[in-house]
Amino acid sequence: LEPTYPVERLSFMLEDVQPPVLLTQQQLLEELPSYWGQVVCLDSDWENISQYPKDNPNSRALADNLAYVIYTSGSTGKPKGVTVPHQGLLNLVFWHQQTFKITASDRSTQLAGTAFDASVWELWPYVCTGASIYLVQPDILYSPVELRHFLVSNHITVSFLPTPLAERILSQAWVGK
């Protein structure tokens, strides 16, 4: 769920998907619509969360099980949920890892909002490889100089930028590069 979305849209999405558990942060609870399932706040519930075993649980997910739902913009009416199975997500992850030679030592960025399909591209191949992901604050995206500084100071090895932003950042001086 994109926290900046209107409450009506969030309500529609929660009602449509009906997730049994919602992961969020305490500060976002007031903005959320009423929700019938279990709520886990990753910040305020951390003490309880940290009591669980640290090892990975055994997965019972199958290739055709649902991995996630992403919604259309709803510009022609109600947003429509597009379901993506694990096999589709893994196809993207494996292709991305092979094509771009992603390793655990890579440092990548996430620029896209979580409700945008590009966020899947920016997140999952790196999570599944054990690479680091650096979240870029939205205000940095408006300044090619600040974004270049962010990439250099964090030793980013892989970043995917929209073409207009890439053109602006590549026109900047890159000291020592």
pLDDT tens by residue, 44-65 = 999 999 999 989 889 899 999 9
| Mean pLDDT value across the chain | 91
- Tell whether 50 is covered by a domain: yes
- In total, how many domains does the chain have? 1
Q: Could you tell me the CA-to-CA distances from 131 to 12, 23, 161 in Å, in that order?
A: 34, 22, 18
Distance (Å, whole) CA 13 – CA 8: 9
**Nearest alpha-carbon partner for 165 in 133, 136, 149, 141:** 141
Write out the residue range of the structural domain in which residue 23 sits.
1-58
Residue with tokens 């999570």: 127
- Strand segments (E) across 31-65: 38-41
- Tell whether 11 is covered by a domain: yes
- Tell whether 34 is covered by a domain: yes
pLDDT digits (tens, 9 = 90+) for 94-111: 999 999 999 999 999 999
Give the mean pLDDT of 27-32.
83
Residue 121 has pLDDT above 80, yes or no: yes
Per-residue confidence band for 174, with pLDDT thresholds at 50, 70 and 90: confident
Give the mean pLDDT of 69-93.
90
- Tell whether 74 is covered by a domain: no
Decide: pTM greater than 0.95.
no
- Tell whether 114 is covered by a domain: no
- Tell whether 94 is covered by a domain: no
- Tell whether 31 is covered by a domain: yes
Residue 177 has pLDDT above 80, yes or no: no
- Tell whether 68 is covered by a domain: no
Contacts of 6 (CB under 8 A, 6+ apart): none
